[in-house]
Structure 1
Amino acid sequence: MTRWRLRRASSEDAPAVALVAGASFLGTFAGILDGADIVAHVMRNSSAAKFAAWSDAPDSIVTIAEHPDGGAPVGYTLMTMPDFPIATGRDDIELRRIYTLTIAQGTGLGTRLMTQAIDDARALGKTRLLLGVLGRNTHARRFYERRGFTVAGRRQYQVGNMLCDDVIYAMSI
């Protein structure tokens, strides 16, 4: 069993987190979304500057997962204030992103990242964790449902020319 290292990321870690964000988004959505749209989306939404700002924001938490041999970044989570078209309150937090690179998939890292996110949300005094996932991503949806998330709504968003349908999940914590 690999002993992945998890730690709260700082703005100095932003380039490493952005690298994992781009690679994991590409790996997840290649063959589903247009390649040029993926690149544009990652450049706009997963830049090192964005991760630095999230790392410094008092209402956001970025966690980085590192390989135990050499410390290469292999996964991350991002929690922020919710941004969904459903009713939310001050006791809610959004797990905006949870990703691992292929090398870490199936090793339990995703579960460790989720557990850390729940612990961090509770430490902030939050009582409900929300997240959005592409509706047709059945693998991810099963992962969330096994952990007790239930459907709380839906949303649509654009990635390039493609309109994506997300399922919004919620879980009391």
Structure 2
Amino acid sequence: MDVRIREMVLDDCDAVARVRVQGWRYAYAGLMPQSYLDTMSVEEDAARRREFLAKGHSRLTNVVAERDGEVVGWGCCGPSRDEDATADQCELYALYVLQEQVSTGVGRALMTELTGGAMAAGFGRMTLWVLEENARARRFYEKAGFAPDGAEEPFEVNGVVVPEVRYASALTR
């Protein structure tokens, strides 16, 4: 595979913001208010990422996928934010690839890196939240070994409730 996965660095913030914003616009079109997606700003997202990375959160993993020297994907995980989380549970916070990279192995490579890193850090279980109506993402996570665990949560975007479901997977080699 011609995809290289590596740790995200400060110089990647603009490219990661582009991946995230384009990823949201592609993945969530028709699932959340278009007005929200249209107002997302790559510049504002990049500024938030720079500020966040500069703080140095040691328990978070941020990785990028590069193809031909261009950042084409990004993923992030860390300790679970769920109230019912156990100490050995981490959470996949984000996994996005550029639209033209969907179904090319980039997402799978990012997921492999993130789950492997979580296992190496001592986590035994990973969870993630996905929009209930996001069939494409749900299929991807199911192929990666995740399954719904019964938890659901409302997610509000511009006054519209967009339900999310939690998926979980045991982290094993």
Q: Sort the TM-score into its range (normalised by shorter chain).
A: 0.7 to 0.9
The answer to whether 1:112 aligns with 2:131 is: no
SS at structure 1 position matched to 2:15? helix
Q: Which residue number in structure 1 is paired with residue 49 of structure 2?
A: 51
2:28, 2:134 within 8 Å by CA — same for their partners in 1?
A: no
The one of 147, 162, 165 aligned to 1:150: 147
- Structure 1 residue matching 2:163: 3-state secondary structure: strand
Work out whether 1:95 is the aligned partner of 2:92: yes
Cα distance, 1:54 vs structure 2: 4.6
Report if aligned partners of 1:37, 1:161 keep a CA contact under 8 Å in 2.
no
- Do residues 60 (structure 1) and 57 (structure 2) align? no
Name the CA distance, whole Å, in 2 between partners of 1:126 and 1:39: 37
Task: Tell me by how many angstroms 1:43 deviates.
Answer: 4.5
How many positions carry a matched residue from both structures? 167
- Find the residue that maps to 1:62 and give its secondary structure: strand
Q: Give the conservation status (yes or no) of the 8 Å contact 1:54–1:61.
A: no
Q: 8 Å contact 2:23–2:97 — kept in the other structure? A: yes
- Work out the CA distance in 2 between the residues paired with 1:161 and 1:132: 19
CA–CA separation in structure 2 for the residues paired with 1:147 and 1:80 = 18
Tell me the residue number matched to 2:126: 129
Amino acid at match of 1:145: E
Q: Deviations over 1:73-109 (max 9, x none)?
A: 111101132223x510221111111111122111111
Q: CA deviation at 1:167?
A: 0.9
Scaled by the length of structure 1, the TM-score of the pair is 0.87
Question: Partner of 1:9 in structure 2?
Answer: 8
Cα deviation, residue 50, structure 1: 3.1
Report the Cα offset of residue 26 of structure 1. 0.8
- After TM superposition, which residue ranges in structure 1, 4 or more long, deviate above 6 angstroms? none
CA distance 1:129–1:54, shift in 2 (3 Å)? farther
The one-letter code matched in structure 1 to 2:103 is: G
Cα distance in 2 for partners of 1:127, 1:98 equals 19
| Preserved CA contact (<8 Å) 2:31 2:133 | no
Q: CA RMSD in A?
A: 2.0
Shift of 1:147: 2.2
Q: 2:29 — aligned with what?
A: 30
Asked if structure 2 preserves the Cα contact closer than 8 Å seen for 1:128 and 1:172, the reply is yes
Give the 3-state SS of the residue equivalent to 1:31 in structure 2: coil
> Helix, strand or coil: the match of 1:96?
strand
Question: Given residue 122 of structure 1, which amino acid in structure 2 is its aligned partner?
Answer: M
